[in-house]
Chain A
Amino acid sequence: AQSVSQHNHHVILSEAASLELGCNYSYGGTVNLFWYVQYPGQHLQLLLKYFSGDPLVKGIKGFEAEFIKSKFSFNLRKPSVQWSDTAEYFCAVNAFGNEKLTFGTGTRLTIIP
């Protein structure tokens, strides 16, 4: 069975700091990988996704993630965060041929102005 681990439960940063949120998955086969974001009071939105090709994927709002197959990781990064990035971030995996998304427990990100 596939599973996803997000080790950081709550991250607090000051504006302009760099961000890296960890995501590891357990599944030996081909996967699709996603980061979703949930801003306060809003619904889940796709931040970025990896299906194949270049392992460094760029998403909206300056976010990027790198798929490292050997480490089963898909960490999310942003070089300089803004107050508006305050949200909950979910990593998700979808095994090839499997329909459901398996989510990590989420990381709450708080940006201090």
Chain B
Amino acid sequence: GAGVSQSPSNKVTEKGKDVELRCDPISGHTALYWYRQSLGQGLEFLIYFQGNSAPDKSGLPSDRFSAERTGGSVSTLTIQRTQQEDSAVYLCASSLPPSGGRRDTQYFGPGTRLTVL
């Protein structure tokens, strides 16, 4: 399919372990976003990439969270020393380059459900 794909779909880990979540955006989408969806907090923005650079990391909740993007395509979100409060669905979205100063629609992937025991 041509949509945003994410892997794994589910991840169960023990507290203190590191996890890596992967996002494959729609081909040609230069912008990539990570969000988190949790019961208590709703949908929260984490980080935005334009190409391989991340001009907005303002939503990352702590320095345990990091993300990178290589080749202007695949992105990896890494959570180090996971805590139980990190349990959530992590969503990736991508969009086309801006036009006339306006962002295009963000298209979301199916998410990775992370459970920290």
Contacts and interface: CB of A to CB of B under 8 A. Distances in A.
Nearest to A102: B45
B109 A99 contact: no
- Residue among A34, A46, A94, A101 with max Cβ neighbours from chain B (10 Å): A101
Contacts of B106: 101
Interface residues on A, range: 20 to 34
A99 B56 contact: yes
B45 A43 contact: no
Which interface residue of A46, A92, A97, A100 has the most chain B CB atoms within 10 A? Answer: A100
Given A34-B105, A43-B108, A106-B42, A100 B91 contact: no
A46 B43 contact: no
Interface in A77-102: 90, 92, 94, 96-97, 99-102
Contacts of B59: 100
Interface residues of B, number: 25
Contact of B108 (A44, A51, A94, A99): A44
Majority DSSP secondary structure for residues of B touching A: strand
B81 interface: no
Contacts of B71: none
Contacts of A90: 43
B42 A43 contact: no
Nearest to A100: B45
Contact of B48 (A32, A51, A99): A99
Given A43-B111, A96-B101, A99-B48, 4 more contacts: A43-B109, A43-B110, A99-B31, A100-B45
22 contacts: A32-B102, A36-B108, A43-B91, A43-B108, A43-B110, A43-B111, A44-B108, A45-B108, A96-B101, A97-B101, A99-B33, A99-B50, A99-B103, A100-B59, A101-B35, A101-B93, A101-B106, A102-B45, A103-B43, A103-B44, A104-B42, A106-B43
Interface of A: 32, 34, 36, 42-46, 49, 51-52, 90, 92, 94, 96-97, 99-106
